[in-house]
Amino acid sequence: MTSPFKLLRVGVPAPSRLGHAFPPFDIASAREAGKLLDLNHEKYHCFFNESNFHNHFAHHILAAHQLGARPAEYPAIFEHAKESLSDDWKLNKKPTPGQGGIERITKENWTKHVGDRNHYWPYLEFFDHETRELGMGETLQRYVLSEEANRGGNQLLGRFVGGAIHPLIHCGYGAEFSLPGVMAEGLAMAMSTGPRFHKLFPTGWHDEIGVSESSSENSTAARMAKLNTDSKNSNGTSSTSIEGQENIDMLRASDGATASQPRSGLSVFSICTLAHADARIAPGQLVRHDMKDKFDALLSGDGPAILESHMSRWHVTEADVADPDPVTGRGGWAEKYEELAWLNTLLLGATSRPGKDVRHDFFLMHSHNATLFLPSLLPLLEPWARSKLLHATWRITFAMWIARGRAPFEISETLNRHSANPLDPGKKITFEDGKEGKPLAPLKERNAWYDVAEAAVNHGDEHAMKALRAQMHFATSFSSTQPGDIKLQPEAEEAVKKSKDGGAFRGLEQLDGSAFARTAGQLLVSQGWRHDGGFHYYKDGFHGSAAKCCRSDPPGIAGPFEEGAVHARASLPTLNDADVMKLAAAQKASYSTAFAKENASDRETITRLLYSLASRKEVERYLRIFSAANKFAVLKVGGAILTQQLDELALSLSFLHRVGLCPIVLHGAGPQLNEILEKEGVEPDYIDGIRITDAKTLRVARKVFLEENQRLVEKLESLGSRARPIPLGTFTASYLDKEKYGLVGKIEKVDKEPIESAIRNGCLPILTSMAETEDGQILNVNADVAASELSKVLEPLKIVYLNEKGGLYHGKTGELMEHINLDEEYEDLMKQEWVKYGTKLKLREMKELLDHLPRSSSVAIISVDQLQKELFTDSGAGTLLRRGYKLYRSDNIEQAGPERLRTLLRDNDQEIIDGRKSVAQFFSELSKHPYTIYGDDPNDVAAFVSRPEGEVPILVKLVATRNGHLNGVTDNVFNQIKKDHKRLVWTGRADDENRAWHYERSDGSFTRNGRALFYYGINDVGEVESTLRNLEDKGRIERAYLPLHAKAAPAGGARGLHTSARSRPALNATSPAGHRGYATAIERSAPLPATNTEKKRVALIGARGYTGQALVSILDKHPHLSLSHVSSRELAGRPLPGYTKSEVLYSNIGVEDLRKLEAGRGDSAPPDAYIMALPNGVCKPFVEAVQQGGEGKVGGHGTIVDLSADYRFEDAWTYGLPEIYSRQSVRDSKLISNPGCYATSVQSLIAPLLPHLDLSRPPTVFGISGYSGAGTTTGQNKVDSDGKPITLPKVSPESLQGGVRPYSLTDHIHERESMRHLSRLYNGKDEGVEVAFIPSVAPWFQGILSTLSAPLSAKITAKDLRKLYEDFYAGNPLVQLTPQVPEIKDVALKHGIRIGGFQIHSSGKRAVVVAGIDNLLKGAATQCVQNLNVALGYDELAGIDVE
């Protein structure tokens, strides 16, 4: 027996590709919409009567959903639809295959029943499956847009735009809300529609004016587009737009094209102007008012040929089907879409006669509404298909305009006489007077779009709802248009001059972005702000009198922010003030409101901590970019990371969470699984790198994954960051090859809802790579593969792979490959002999992944400890892979494209923005010498190198958009310049926010008068000076930099060669004898006398690391302090070693435990003081717990000393370096930030010299530390004989191989710390003293040596130099001065600081001094106890052995 037609569920609508006008009311709203869509899909035909009137129910539901409708509103919409959708209508009764000539549709017979509405159900079944198997884009291409679909009698394009364009509109809804079932309905509708408009698409119509299928089918763009249309999201839709178009994306609108000035052919505005002047298609010629069917009349006789003569002048080039710029949204198909959006807006809002009642044509409204769906459909298609869809939309719009009477566009007399801020005249927003109940004056100033949105979702007429929705979206995209932006091309302007009636567009020069609000308001005046049930559109066009037709409409519906039940039509709701506030808040917050719950000061503190990584502007730029991203990052975490670096991973994730970012974490567990299997006697087996998974392996894998997932979640929760475990439910899979691999899955579908639910609720989603089949069988999936599939659906900005190596390394040089531009380097890289096995596989996988994603996405391979640096700095960390763009070089402005260069310069070059130079002036100056222009095809970066024969080239300008910086294009362009030029000079502002980028790429630089000069390839200062003199003499650079060595150092004078720059005040030199003072309120003093000897208790929070061990050792000998609590999660319950005063056990003290302890509700009395020995970024919740616990207590909370960097930049905390700053401030404080180890050394060297430095050339400190300074980690499953986890160094001496390793070469956090506090010492401000600090790590365990090189403002002797230090540190017993250069043996295991080697350069104006400290003692633990002693009133050195 033949089985009945089986349809698939439509499902819940995904967020609109256009963005919701307002956030959906709640998840129940989407579910209710999904239920009704399923009902419509199963029960109702696309036509509801013999005249083939269309079933609009899905349109109405989805439009209302996008406008923010509530669940209670959908039944009312359904009841309205039921007035037309009769269950008894014959076509609603699904036939059985084989009855009445009805047969199943297959890939072989799909053209057989085209045009037969009785085969709607078979076609729906067929497309239900095709849209999910092929993806929506490929299905639309194959069955509507392809050559096969339009051969002979098929004519699918003519059917697709037939029926008042309903098939296109219906498919558009499917694409917009990622609903393959709705797309299937639209395609089945097209198959059931007659080919009425096929004459708009004659044979060969597309060959010369569009992107042909044959010319692009073998291109890289087409192949990548095919991959994208095959990539499906959870609903089976294509998940990404077409990317990687090497021959297409390089050509964007940045080449000067606009909506009215296209690259090729004429704009729609110019074509309509010429058509308006064509007497052959004047009203009464091809189409007359008395004709019953105006479309048939237009498409008979000479009509098609005349139409073709105009329509064919609209061209679509390859550049016109490229993707828009991901940041600006401009360029590519967006320009053609803008043309059609403007034309259809004017067709709707400017085609009534001046002075007459507004007339909205029913059919033109359909072309208007259809245009809205182009941004949802175009990204699904390949280039040739995008071209055909754009042309089809243009042609049906133009044909309708002619058929409906070719009305002129009365912009000044019709459109512009309507308000640009249309407010609902029936609404009054009032406050109630509590005493008398009298309303106050209505709120007069409000955004009219709120009223429009409420009217739209309430409007009983779905046509008006759809039109208003379109105007809202058009306004969002194009409302910045200014008068005069849209203009005619010369041929059309000539036609206007010759016309007697002013042409087609009357008042075009007045057209601006307010047109959308004016059109929306006009429509609501015409159709009613509150629909009265009538049908107020004109069906006879603009040929003559109106013929009205009425039908009933549904009850009025409550607005999206109105509480209460469904209202009757006559009494629609209004918004009160609270509702307006809700509306504004919802619009501002969008979907990512969960993080608004985070404490604002928390985010601010941690954001400031990020400034230690990079400049403030740099950090804030990345925060803005990531915060604006719908999906910020997918992090793939290897199993080894969870075992070896769980603490570091959790801290990094918590850090991101606290600044409002929510990475999606997916982890593996391979090493853990192997270990357990080996213990159980199961040998892991692999084929093609894929783990063979039998039932026993899967059982163990499931257990391991769940345990590791929970472990990470609990760790995050312990740090105060909410996390949600999602071990299963995200991935649906089929068997990869059951016979070969066993229970291994191939991911077929990704369900985003669990992830998005977690994010909405402020939780970090933590996923495993386990998948399930449709019938519930769990399958093992490779974690890298799962991360890739997840990323294809979510399209995050960043995909981060965390591994132990921290990046990809060159197989021959052994160097880290920091950037890989796949478009430029991939093919050559894959040919390298060292690229093989796993490396080749990894590169291939990354390439395939990025080919599916927008170009703004990137892949980073980094180590855990470099995560923040990768995300928030331009320099990044590890290896960054991007698809990049093809670069160009040109020796001619005309070749490079003057208009595109002009646009880039005008928008991004500060000199031109400020009006100090025009673009024409710059081009003229550049052309005086031979030059080369370097750039990228999307026009994100351009570099101009002037290169006269025999002279050093100058980089005259380097201009980049934000996108250029973000995508690393600037680096790629500069690398190309370096390949071409062995030497180069360039200049810039000293306060340029990207100055660090310039310093890193130069061999040297110096600054004068706020200008910085950089160079590479020039070997010494003498050569630099002679080169600059030559350049100045020839006028190639400004006269601002010579001489390099001035005899005096005036304010703002010459600066020494260096690697950092910032404008700063200069100091007048004074001799040491003058002992110039400090412009500061800091009161330095000798150690304060003790005022207390009482016994007190201290809690040590975070005791596992080296600093914690050193603190325990000091406190064990302290005469007054004893340890009450020692916190360590890994060691909880074990006795504290090295402490002999009493038995103390490690405990796992969480934030809540600490709050209770300080409040007196813990396991013992509150301690008198707390030492926070936690990593950076973690301390804040623990500090707040102590502060909250101490609220209301006499004397407040206990004293806190924090060893992390979290509070060293906080004004509310006292910075505790007793030998340099105020001891009294420490004694008076309960919040003390302990300085960093390097920062202690740096400040101790520089502070005595502050009054004598030449601050126009800041001092440099080179520091080298033992490897204990890098911190510790817990060894992977390694324990000692007592079962206690072994603590291992993060950097081992073995890894250093006997050498030293420089790191953090610029902007080290201790550099910033030193500059801030030295500036305060010097002038009482946060800036004014700059320091260049370069750290390295060495293979000894503990101890730091720092060497200062400091330019001086006046000559001094070595004797004078030492005297400065003796005077400064007099009475400070922990500072030892010595003539010899300190060595590590002099300071290791010592509590003080040793300063010596006092030398003066032969010029008398540069001092060199060396300091040594123990990084674990004076650099951390000793200084902490010093501060604690001072704060508690003890002798400063209590417990500290000075000897």
Handedness of CA 1322, 1325, 1330, 1336 (dihedral sign): positive
Structure tokens at 1140: 């002999």
Please give the C-alpha separations between residue 857 and each of 506, 997, 1000, in angstroms, as whole numbers. 45, 22, 25
Catalytic, 46? Answer: no
Nearest Cα to Cα of residue 1000 among 1014, 987, 988, 989: 1014
DSSP secondary structure string for all residues of 633-681: EEEEE-HHHHHH-HHHHHHHHHHHHHTT--PEEEE--HHHHHHHHHHTT
Structure tokens at 849: 């992944």
If one counts every other C-beta atom within 10 angstroms of the C-beta of residue 228, the result is 26
Q: What dihedral angle (degrees, nearest 10) is formed by the CA atoms of 253, 259, 260, 263?
A: 30
Q: What is the DSSP letter of 1000?
A: H
Per DSSP bridges, beta strands 1231-1233 and 1199-1202 are: parallel
CA distance 1126 to 1147: 6
Q: Which of 46, 272, 763, 1237 is catalytic?
A: 1237
Nearest Cα to Cα of residue 1101 among 1188, 1167, 1165, 1172: 1172
Q: In this structure, are residues 1436 and 1218 in contact, taking their beta carbons and an 8 Å threshold?
A: yes
CA distance 469 to 371: 12
If one counts every other C-beta atom within 10 angstroms of the C-beta of residue 1292, the result is 11
Alpha-helix runs per DSSP H in 1247-1308: 1293-1296
Nearest Cα to Cα of residue 797 among 618, 613, 667, 662: 662
Quote the distance between the C-alpha of residue 933 and its chain's center: 30
CA distance 631 to 613: 24
Nearest Cα to Cα of residue 677 among 655, 702, 656: 702
CA distance 886 to 884: 7
Nearest Cα to Cα of residue 1271 among 1293, 1285, 1288, 1295: 1288
For residue 161, count CB atoms less than 10 angstroms from its CB and return exposed for 0-12, middle for 13-18, buried for 19 or more: buried
CA distance 5 to 1095: 86
Q: What is the DSSP letter of 208?
A: T
**Residue 766: strand pairing partners:** 665, 725
Structure tokens at 1095: 């016994």
Mapped onto helix, strand or coil, the DSSP state of residue 796 is coil
Nearest Cα to Cα of residue 1379 among 1406, 1359, 1364, 1393: 1359
Nearest Cα to Cα of residue 1415 among 1294, 1292, 1305, 1265: 1265
Nearest Cα to Cα of residue 677 among 644, 702, 700, 704: 700
CA distance 388 to 320: 12
Q: Which helix (H) or strand (E) holds 748?
A: strand 745-750
Structure tokens at 103: 């047969």
CA distance 1098 to 509: 77
Q: Which helix (H) or strand (E) holds 974?
A: helix 969-980
Nearest Cα to Cα of residue 530 among 586, 644, 624, 454: 454
Structure tokens at 466: 């759809």
Residue written as token pair 């190596």: 805
- Which residues are tagged catalytic? 1237
